[in-house]
Amino acid sequence: MGQKPSYLQEVLERNPHRKKHILDFINRFTVIDDVLVDKEIFNYTFKCTYPGCGLCCFAGTLVAKEEINRVIKRVDDIKPYLSVSKIKRLNKLGNQFYTNYYVEGFFKLRTWNSSCIFLMEDKRCAVHTYCLDHGIDWIKFHFDLCVTYPLRINTNKKIIHIEEELYNREYVYNCFNIKKDGEENYESDLLYYMKDVIVDRFGLGFWEAMENKYKS
């Protein structure tokens, strides 16, 4: 009786045309406290220019049902932050700010006038701004991918990596850059800039383990 193929072998067999991409992606990772961590995180800087940019909010992000349930309870309080046209659109939709998506278990935030339905006219996020104005922890309340960007963090599968669209330069934003040789700036190093989010998802001990790996 033959040995059962590994999960990696199964993935490669299903996607032979993407073999190099898959292997390159896997080779980027190291294990820190049982979490798969993208080593490229240590090689990039990130400093969001929020508010006033909104470039990464041109499309609706993926959201899970529990995220929708969390935000929909407050959507009537969030709507006043939006433009008249977006308020009218939400009213017409009965506050359904999301639409179906082909990925099982996920939905997609709607867009209107070429931007996320929650992007304000001054390029701020209405959900984020509502949280700040009302003393709500936006890291816990906001949509997950909006909080973790430019990272993808999956606490269930214990994996953290750079958004592939950025790493592959599908989108080029001034806020996200590869570090120059010898450059060290704790304000803009991706690891340090995202500290609060990583700590919220995996705990301070894990972030400190990442920092030790970064410094070693």
For residues 40 and 67, membership in a common domain is answered with no
In a domain, 166, yes or no: yes
Is 194 part of a structural domain of the chain? yes
Residue 168 located in a structural domain: yes
Low-confidence spans in the chain with pLDDT less than 70: 1-8, 11-12, 182-186
pLDDT score for 167? 85
This prediction has a pTM of 0.84
Q: Is 122 a domain residue?
A: yes
- Based on the fold, state whether residues 213 and 151 are members of the same structural domain: yes
Provide the domain limits for residue 216: 30-56+143-216
The pLDDT score that the predictor gives to residue 182 is 64
Q: Are residues 66 and 95 in the same domain?
A: yes
Q: Are residues 109 and 155 in the same domain?
A: no
pLDDT of amino acid 8: 60
44 part of a folded domain: yes
- Residue appearing with tokens 């490229």: 40
**What's residue 7's pLDDT?**
57
Q: Are residues 205 and 168 in the same domain?
A: yes
If asked whether residues 129 and 85 sit together in one domain, one would say yes
Q: What is the residue-averaged pLDDT of the chain?
A: 87
178 and 117 in a single domain? The answer is no
Structural domain includes residue 24:
no
Looking at the structure of the chain, the number of domains it has is: 2
Last residue of a domain, one of 110, 136, 162: 136
pLDDT digits (tens, 9 = 90+) for 84-101: 999 999 999 999 999 998
Please give the pLDDT value at position 184.
67
